[in-house]
Amino acid sequence: MSAPALPIPRRVLITGASAGIGRETAGALLAAGCEVWGTSRQRSRLPDPGPRFHAVELEQTSADSRHAAWAQVEQECGGRLDALVNNAGDGVFGAFADEDEDVGRLRAQFETLVFGPIGLTRLALPALRRSSRPVVVNVTSLAGRLPIPFMAAYSAGKAALSAYTAALRLEAADVHWVDVQPGDIRTKFNDAMRAPPADSGPQRRSWEVMEASMAAAPPAEVVAQAIVKVVCGEGAPPPVVVVGDFVQAKLAALAPRFLPTRWLESMLRRHYRV
């Protein structure tokens, strides 16, 4: 019986590598033999795991920062990149009715979740096309299919990036475009959001459901391993990868395809207690 094939080493750029899914994925890619460029808003927050990891400072919402970051990566990788993992992101929790008139919260979320990844991908595409197996992984969310109340901007941003990824699969078939959709994953993602007041009714109840789900969720390692498989495998990776516990990854992910919209929305209202 022959030994299983080892993962193919790759040159990989991953955004948001200082914490959570990004940090875990950077470590897993290094363990698989990859050379990794990891980004963070603050270079000092990035780990220093060895010579195959390159720290890159990147403010996702700034075009100037994207160009400067890419110039560093392009020089260090010699103009050939095998994979780009667009992982960096954040969330905002709050009611739509409380947003300012020019929907600033929505604009800010789209800058981080949609326009930032698209801008970086544009810069990296020529280098990716020099690879024998170029892969772009866009880390979206199951929230793009099953939206979260009081996180409308986040849900919409993830859905937009998911649809963008699907469209690029049609028009740029020389690159593997993969939409990785995590469900609830146990990270410190919620810690960066402002919790609603205790007397805020439905908002507070939804927040408490989210907190409980995150505490019981699988660790970031499960997403990292799924991304490593996509990046380091052979042949064409699956176009969409849903990651989470059995209920979310298998059952909930299928619900939008088979349930009437009213039934689905009723289930979500009951789940989030709104």
Domain ranges, ordered by start, for the chain? 11-272
pLDDT at 7 over 80: no
87 CB contacts (<8 Å, ≥6 apart)? 14, 15, 16, 17, 21, 22, 25, 137, 139
* Percent of the chain at pLDDT exceeding 90: 84
CB 274 within 8 A of CB 149: yes
pLDDT attached to residue 101: 62
Look-up of token digits 């948001």? 16
CB 174 within 8 A of CB 134: yes
Spatial distance between the Cα atoms of 98 and 203, rounded to a whole number of angstroms? 12
As a whole number, mean pLDDT of residues 95-124 equals 89
| Options 37, 93, 154, 272, the catalytic residue | 154
Q: Per residue in 167-224, pLDDT tens?
A: 999 999 999 999 999 999 999 998 889 899 999 999 999 999 999 999 999 999 999 9
Global model pTM greater than 0.75: yes
51 CB contacts (<8 Å, ≥6 apart)? none
pLDDT attached to residue 5: 52
Give me the half-sphere count of Cα atoms (radius 13 Å) on the Cβ side of residue 235.
1
pLDDT at 237 over 60: yes
pLDDT attached to residue 3: 46
pLDDT attached to residue 97: 83
AA letter at 35? E
CA distance to 28, 43, 141, 161, 258, per residue, from 209 (Å)? 30, 34, 17, 25, 25
Indicate the average pLDDT of the chain: 93
pLDDT at 91 over 80: yes
Spatial distance between the Cα atoms of 274 and 272, rounded to a whole number of angstroms? 6
pLDDT attached to residue 93: 93
pLDDT at 4 over 90: no
pLDDT attached to residue 165: 98
Spatial distance between the Cα atoms of 136 and 129, rounded to a whole number of angstroms? 11
For the beta carbon of residue 72, count every other beta carbon within 10 angstroms.
16
CB 25 within 8 A of CB 223: yes
Active site residue 272: no
pLDDT band at 99 (very low <50, low <70, confident <90, very high): confident
The CATH classification number of 11-272 equals 3.40.50.720
pLDDT attached to residue 98: 81
Q: What is the 3-state secondary structure (H, E, C) of the chain?
A: CCCCCCCCCCEEEECCCCCHHHHHHHHHHHHCCCEEEEEECCHHHCCCCCCCEEEEECCCCCHHHHHHHHHHHHHHHCCCCCEEEECCCCCCCCCHHHCCCCCHHHHHHHHHHHHHHHHHHHHHHHHHCCCCCCEEEEECCHHHCCCCCCCHHHHHHHHHHHHHHHHHHHHCCCCEEEEEEECCCECCHHHHCCCCCCCCCHHHHHHHHHHHHHHCCCECHHHHHHHHHHHHCCCCCCCEEEECCHHHHHHHHHHHHHCCHHHHHHHHHHHHCC
Spatial distance between the Cα atoms of 255 and 238, rounded to a whole number of angstroms? 20
pLDDT attached to residue 57: 98
Q: Per residue in 110-151, pLDDT tens?
A: 999 999 999 999 999 999 999 999 999 999 999 999 999 999
